[in-house]
Amino acid sequence: MAQKQTARGVFMLERILTDDFRGKLKLTFRDIENQQDRSDEKEFAKDEVRIREELLDTVTPHASDDTLDEDYLIAAVDGSGSGDLMTLDDVRVHLLSTSTVVLDTNTRAGDPFRPLDRATLENAFGRAQPFLDCHWHSGVRGDARTKMADSLAEIYPLKDSDALVLPFFRDIMKRQLKSMSDLSGTNYGAYTSSLGTMESLITREQMLTNPAVHDELRTASEYAAARIVLTSSIQPKYLLLDGAMSIFMHQARQYPSMPSGFMLRELCSLAREKHVVLCAVSKNHTIPFAHRIARMAQEAFGEGSKWFCLLPGSEDPGGGLYIYQDRTYIPPRLAVPYLFSFSMDNRPSRIDFDRIWWLENVFVQDDPSKTRENEKALFQEIEFMSRDARWYGYPVALALAHEECKLSYEDLRLAREVAGDVRHELGLDPRRTTPYREDFNL
Predicted confidence band of residue 87 (pLDDT cuts 50, 70, 90)? confident
Q: What is the mean pLDDT of residues 377-405?
A: 95
pLDDT exceeds 70 at position 76 = yes
Distance of CA 438 to the CA centre of its chain: 34
Q: What is the mean pLDDT of residues 282-300?
A: 92
Distance CA 355, CA 312 (A): 11
The model's pTM is 0.93
**238 and 277 in contact (C-beta within 8 Å)?**
yes
Task: Sort 146 into a burial class: Cβ within 10 Å, 0-12 / 13-18 / 19+.
Answer: middle
User: Which of 24-38, 113-127, 335-349 bottoms out in mean pLDDT, i.e. has the lowest?
Assistant: 24-38
Which of 304 and 51 is assigned the larger pLDDT? 51
Distance CA 148, CA 213 (A): 7
pLDDT exceeds 70 at position 6 = no
Which pLDDT belongs to residue 38? 73
Predicted confidence band of residue 270 (pLDDT cuts 50, 70, 90)? very high
* pLDDT digit string, tens, across residues 307-354: 999 999 999 999 999 999 988 889 999 999 999 999 988 899 999 999
The pair phi, psi for residue 80, each rounded to 5°, is -150, -175
pLDDT exceeds 80 at position 150 = yes
pLDDT exceeds 70 at position 5 = no
Query: In sequence order, what DSSP letters do the residues of 311-323 get, joined into one string?
Result: ---TTSTT---GG
Predicted confidence band of residue 1 (pLDDT cuts 50, 70, 90)? very low
Which pLDDT belongs to residue 206? 64
pLDDT exceeds 80 at position 421 = yes
Q: What is the mean pLDDT of the chain?
A: 92
Query: In sequence order, what DSSP letters do the residues of 155-220 get, joined into one string?
Result: HSS---HHHHHHHHHHHHHTS---SGGGGTTSTTGGGGGGSSSTGGG---GGG--HHHHHHHHHHH
Q: What is the mean pLDDT of residues 424-430?
A: 85
Q: What is the mean pLDDT of residues 10-18?
A: 91
Which pLDDT belongs to residue 279? 98
Q: Coil, strand or helix: which one is 366?
A: coil
Predicted confidence band of residue 284 (pLDDT cuts 50, 70, 90)? confident
Distance CA 189, CA 252 (A): 13
Q: Within a 10 A sphere around the Cβ of 83, how many other Cβ atoms?
A: 20
440: which DSSP letter? G
pLDDT exceeds 90 at position 142 = no
Q: Within a 10 A sphere around the Cβ of 403, how many other Cβ atoms?
A: 14
pLDDT exceeds 80 at position 2 = no
Q: What is the mean pLDDT of residues 293-306?
A: 93
Predicted confidence band of residue 303 (pLDDT cuts 50, 70, 90)? confident
